[in-house]
């Protein structure tokens, strides 16, 4: 006997099998009157069960209603008349009895399977597949296509969640002693230390089994495909099959079903997103962008806002600032962000915004759990994936004494049955997630909250995965000089990693591309040239006062490596470094070797003949420190000033700083020498100085040990009493 009874806001008995997937929808928001009505209905059903204990239909409806009320008890506001544990126990016993009394009823088997899968008891969850398999058998035997589709969907979901727990599983005991969180790795140290220690520990682990979870993946695919064949217009059926294909990078297949879907249902924004993801991952970024643009038109306003939420990539402080901007400010910020996020401007197909939308789409497909109302893009794994892209390495561990690692500690309290999944990125981020098996939800360890915030603040996002090449950071030095009419001459010197770029093609022509953009402007100056064998790229820009963004890249066709460097240039009064456009001052500093050391200095810097140094300096080398001095005061037709040069150790091997000054008599130079530094002081006098002139000091590093050093130049105008200084970093190699 089947009872169809409705209570306020809730369907107690679900007769249409096509509605099974949503049959508990609304349980979490039942009002107190609806709960009271449902409890009365439950009492009536229990009274009927007492009179007819072998009525499977009555047992089934007691079980479904008790389960619904148990779910309501887990949500706020609480209702005192509900007792979740007792209701769950009643649901469990009633649904089991219903199945026992009607062993050929696939509907009862299916609902019991769902109930067991929702249980927090891992033993009960393990029993769920048995009942859904029986539901499938019953549906096939009775040719009940609606029940078959619902049961296959549940079977696919169960297999998928088992795959999710076992995928990339590491062989038992392969990572003994592995820290179980960033906090466990850091101890009392910083986030950076914890990330480094966790990365080093995972690097020493055995690689995960390549086929872990493969049988569950294949079983999920069989089920999802059969459901999609039966219900090609069903949104959930499409999205689950799309999820499965995206997980294994099966982009051509995903593109095929997404095209079929948008042909059948062109208004489905989710299908357009899936098509954009597949196209982008297949290298068709222009077509992917068009698909994402179409998706934006098809999604409702709320879903569009969630999907295209640019704030997902920002630091928390920047996100708060962005929220307070007007429309024009937001547009300007986003434009600058996407421009800077592109890892290689000299290559097509690296559009970071398209990559961002591909990541959001993947996260939505991969980690959405409808039954727990978890949106994949908002999950912990989704957040990390959207910020940094696919991890470079994934490891899965079983917790507990019989598992791979001893989970817990540091505020973490996983269950013995929990899994730990570790993601590792080459740029220096490693993170652990915890979760119960077959739930599909995983979270950061509770103790790692501050470390995750620190990591997101340090590197809010990365789009390095969009470039086919491995990109190396090039040494870059920018030197500013005063020019006519308060303008500024900017000399940008960079050095490409020539040997690395040419490692696969020794005769490759390496080109340099430079961009100088004014703040908040997407257009500006660009220059390109072939780089000589030295790898040195020199670019000179004459600019009006202001702030500029400079970017330089070195690439070659047919290679897998590239170089890149970026910096901000303050071509104006700079309160940080002391550079100014008027009055007494000096330019930035140039380091290098003079092409003709005996030649007199030119009047201005553009006449210099010097081989600039931007990378490391070989040990026991000589070098020139060159700059321009501006607007020295004069007295009695003479400009008098003092020069102080300090060569100070930041980090190096043991040994004293042995740098010496060249070209001046020892008696003319005051020397203050300590183990970690040496300072040279001397005076200069010249006829009343012009507004600007080139000056130089020559140094010999001698036996100064390899390491990092800072060179500080100070000029004191003895007539006016004013001082100014400038500093730069130098690395001495072995």
Query: In this predicted model, what pLDDT tens digit does every residue of 579-592 receive, in sequence order?
Result: 999 999 999 999 99
Residue 2 has pLDDT above 50, yes or no: no
Residue 658 has pLDDT above 50, yes or no: yes
H or E element at residue 138: helix 122-142
User: What confidence score (pLDDT) does residue 519 get?
Assistant: 75
Mean pLDDT calculated for residue range 309-316: 92
Measured between alpha carbons, how far is 34 from 11 in angstroms, rounded to an integer? 11
Of 2 and 243, the one with more pLDDT: 243
H or E element at residue 395: strand 393-398
Contact in structure between 238 and 194 (CB atoms under 8 Å): no
Measured between alpha carbons, how far is 244 from 222 in angstroms, rounded to an integer? 11
Alpha helices in 459-543 (DSSP H): 498-501
pLDDT band at 662 (very low <50, low <70, confident <90, very high): confident
User: What confidence score (pLDDT) does residue 665 get?
Assistant: 65
Q: How far is CA 625 from the centre of its chain?
A: 41
Residue 467 has pLDDT above 70, yes or no: yes
Contact in structure between 693 and 628 (CB atoms under 8 Å): yes
H or E element at residue 517: strand 511-518
Domains, the chain, ordered by start: 6-162 (1.25.40.10), 182-207+309-465 (no CATH), 469-578 (2.60.40.10), 583-734 (2.60.40.3880)
> Who's near 210: CB < 8 A, 6+ residues apart?
none
Burial status of residue 420 (CB atoms within 10 A of its CB: 0-12, 13-18, 19 or more): buried
Residue 11 has pLDDT above 60, yes or no: no
Measured between alpha carbons, how far is 529 from 538 in angstroms, rounded to an integer? 10
The angle at the Cα of 270, spanning 264 to 274, to the nearest 5 degrees, equals 90
Mean pLDDT calculated for residue range 53-71: 95
Contact in structure between 552 and 574 (CB atoms under 8 Å): no
User: What confidence score (pLDDT) does residue 521 get?
Assistant: 65
Residue 117 has pLDDT above 80, yes or no: yes
Mean pLDDT calculated for residue range 596-613: 85
Residue 412 has pLDDT above 80, yes or no: no
Burial status of residue 367 (CB atoms within 10 A of its CB: 0-12, 13-18, 19 or more): buried
Query: Cα torsion at 650, 656, 659, 664 (round to 10°)?
Result: 130
User: What confidence score (pLDDT) does residue 493 get?
Assistant: 95
Of 294 and 9, the one with more pLDDT: 294
Contact in structure between 312 and 383 (CB atoms under 8 Å): yes
Sign of the four-CA dihedral 554, 555, 561, 566: positive
- What is the reported pTM? 0.80
User: What confidence score (pLDDT) does residue 483 get?
Assistant: 95
Helix 56-72 to helix 106-117 angle, to the nearest 10 degrees?
Answer: 30
pLDDT band at 539 (very low <50, low <70, confident <90, very high): very high
Burial status of residue 373 (CB atoms within 10 A of its CB: 0-12, 13-18, 19 or more): exposed
> What is the percent of the chain where pLDDT is above 70?
92
Residue 96 has pLDDT above 60, yes or no: yes
User: What confidence score (pLDDT) does residue 209 get?
Assistant: 64
Sign of the four-CA dihedral 140, 142, 148, 150: negative
Q: Among 359, 362, 364, 342, which Cα is nearest to 351's?
A: 342
User: What confidence score (pLDDT) does residue 407 get?
Assistant: 67
Q: Among 675, 682, 673, which Cα is nearest to 714's?
A: 682
Q: How many CB atoms lie within 10 A of CB 327?
A: 7
User: What confidence score (pLDDT) does residue 3 get?
Assistant: 34
User: What confidence score (pLDDT) does residue 636 get?
Assistant: 92
142-151, 302-311, 313-322, 516-525: lowest mean pLDDT where?
Answer: 516-525
Mean pLDDT calculated for residue range 659-686: 87
Contact in structure between 433 and 421 (CB atoms under 8 Å): yes
Residue 187 has pLDDT above 60, yes or no: yes
Give me the count of residues in the chain: 734
Sign of the four-CA dihedral 194, 197, 200, 203: negative
Alpha helices in 248-388 (DSSP H): 251-264, 269-281, 285-298, 301-307, 316-323, 327-341, 352-367, 380-388
What are residue 717's phi and psi, to 5 degrees? -80, 110
**Distance in Å from the first CA to the final CA of the chain:** 88
Residue 19 has pLDDT above 50, yes or no: no
Q: What is the DSSP string of 660-720?
A: EEESS-GGG-EEEEETTEEEEEEEEEEES--SEEEEEEEEE-TTPPSEEEEEEEEEEETTT
Cis bond before residue 77 (omega within 30° of 0)? yes
Residue 557 has pLDDT above 70, yes or no: yes
Residue 383 has pLDDT above 70, yes or no: yes
């Amino acid at each position: 006997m089947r009872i169809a009874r409705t209570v306020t806001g809730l369907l107690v008995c679900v007769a249409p099998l096509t509605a099974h997937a949503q049959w508990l929808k609304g349980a979490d928001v039942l009002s107190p009157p609806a709960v009271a009505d449902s409890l009365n209905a439950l009492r009536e059903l229990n009274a009927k069960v007492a009179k007819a204990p072998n009525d499977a239909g009555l047992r089934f409806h007691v079980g479904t209603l008790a389960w619904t009320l148990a779910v309501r008890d887990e949500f706020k506001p609480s209702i005192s008349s509900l007792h979740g544990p007792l209701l769950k126990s009643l649901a469990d016993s009633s649904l089991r009895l219903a199945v026992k009394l009607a062993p050929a009823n696939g509907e009862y088997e299916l609902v019991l399977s769902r109930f067991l899968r929702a249980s927090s008891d891992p033993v009960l969850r393990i029993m769920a597949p048995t009942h859904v398999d029986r539901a499938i058998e019953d549906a096939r035997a009775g040719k009940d296509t609606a029940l078959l589709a619902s049961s296959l969907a549940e079977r696919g979901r169960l297999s998928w969640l088992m795959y999710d727990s076992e995928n990339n599983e590491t062989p038992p005991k392969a990572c003994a002693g592995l820290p179980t969180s960033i906090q466990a790795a850091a101890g009392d140290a910083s986030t950076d230390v914890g990330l480094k220690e966790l990365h080093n520990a995972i690097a020493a682990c055995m690689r995960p089994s390549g086929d872990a979870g493969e049988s569950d993946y294949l079983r999920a695919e069989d089920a999802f495909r059969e459901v999609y064949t039966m219900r090609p217009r069903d949104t959930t059926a499409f999205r689950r099959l799309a999820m499965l294909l995206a997980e294994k990078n099966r982009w051509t297949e995903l593109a095929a079903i997404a095209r079929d879907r948008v042909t059948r249902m062109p208004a489905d924004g989710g299908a357009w997103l899936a098509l954009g993801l597949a196209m982008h991952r297949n290298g068709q970024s222009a077509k992917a962008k068009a698909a994402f643009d179409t998706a934006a038109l098809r999604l409702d306003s709320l879903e569009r806002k969630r999907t295209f939420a640019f704030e997902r990539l920002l630091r928390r402080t920047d996100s708060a600032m962005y929220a307070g901007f007007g429309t024009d400010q937001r547009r300007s910020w986003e434009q600058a962000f996407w421009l800077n996020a592109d890892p290689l401007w000299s290559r097509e197909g690296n559009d970071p915004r398209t990559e961002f939308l591909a990541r959001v789409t993947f996260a939505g497909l991969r980690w959405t759990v409808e039954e727990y109302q978890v949106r994949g893009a908002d999950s912990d794994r989704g957040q990390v994936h959207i910020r940094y892209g696919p991890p470079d390495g994934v490891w899965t561990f079983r917790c507990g004494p019989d598992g791979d690692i001893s989970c817990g500690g540091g505020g973490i309290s996983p269950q013995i049955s929990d899994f730990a999944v570790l993601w590792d990125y080459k740029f220096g981020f490693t993170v652990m997630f915890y979760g119960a098996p077959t739930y599909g939800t995983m979270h950061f360890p509770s103790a790692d909250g501050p470390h995750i915030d620190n990591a997101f603040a340090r590197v809010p996002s990365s789009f390095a995965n969009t470039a086919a090449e491995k990109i190396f950071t090039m040494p870059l030095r920018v030197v500013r000089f005063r020019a006519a009419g308060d303008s500024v001459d900017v000399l940008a010197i960079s050095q490409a990693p020539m040997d690395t770029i040419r490692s696969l093609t020794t005769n490759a022509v390496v080109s340099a591309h430079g961009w100088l953009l004014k703040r908040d402007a997407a257009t500006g100056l660009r220059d390109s040239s072939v780089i000589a064998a030295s790898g040195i790229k020199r670019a000179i820009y004459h600019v009006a006062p202001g702030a500029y963004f400079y970017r330089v890249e070195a690439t070659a066709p047919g290679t897998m490596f590239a170089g890149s460097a970026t910096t901000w240039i303050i071509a104006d009064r700079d309160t940080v470094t002391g550079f100014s456009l008027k009055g007494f001052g000096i330019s930035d500093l140039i380091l290098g070797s003079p092409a003709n050391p005996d030649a007199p200095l030119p009047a201005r810097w553009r006449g210099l003949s010097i081989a600039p140094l931007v990378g490391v300096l070989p040990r026991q080398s000589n070098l020139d420190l060159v700059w321009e001095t501006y607007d020295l005061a004069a007295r009695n037709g003479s400009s008098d000033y003092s020069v102080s040069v300090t060569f100070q150790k930041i980090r190096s091997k043991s040994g004293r700083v042995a740098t010496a000054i060249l070209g001046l008599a020892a008696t003319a130079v005051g020397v203050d020498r300590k183990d970690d530094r040496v300072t040279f002081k001397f005076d200069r006098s010249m006829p009343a100085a012009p507004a600007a002139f080139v000056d130089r000091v020559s140094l010999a590093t001698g036996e100064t040990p390899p390491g990092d050093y800072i060179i500080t130049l100070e000029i004191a105008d003895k007539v006016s009493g004013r001082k100014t200084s400038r500093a730069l970093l130098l690395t001495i190699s072995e």
